[in-house]
Amino acid sequence: MFLRGLHLLGAEAKASPETFLLEPRPVATLGGFDVTIRPIGTVGLGTRVVIAIADTPLEELYVEAADIAGLDPGGLVTRLENRVRGLEQTRE
């Protein structure tokens, strides 16, 4: 579900020629937190998709829209899981 949503959003972002910044869309839950995605882009600078763990101070992941198809699903989920595991350290 998560990667399907990411691929669809990436295709949508690449198809839109204007500058845009959309609201984050929840696409999955990890460790009780929503995983959100949103495209950001500017003409001439390309389009990126922002992947975030909602309502946390964790740093967001940025992926070029053109690179979404080549993402390793397991690697992406592992990166997100590691960030959620690090929340306890972030609080300290």
What's the CA gap between 82 and 67, in Å, rounded? 22
pTM greater than the 0.75 cutoff: no
Contacts of 48 (CB under 8 A, 6+ apart): 39, 40, 41, 62, 63, 64, 65
How many C-beta atoms lie closer than 10 Å to residue 75's C-beta? 9
pLDDT tens-digit series, residues 43-82: 666 788 889 999 998 889 998 878 888 888 888 889 999 9
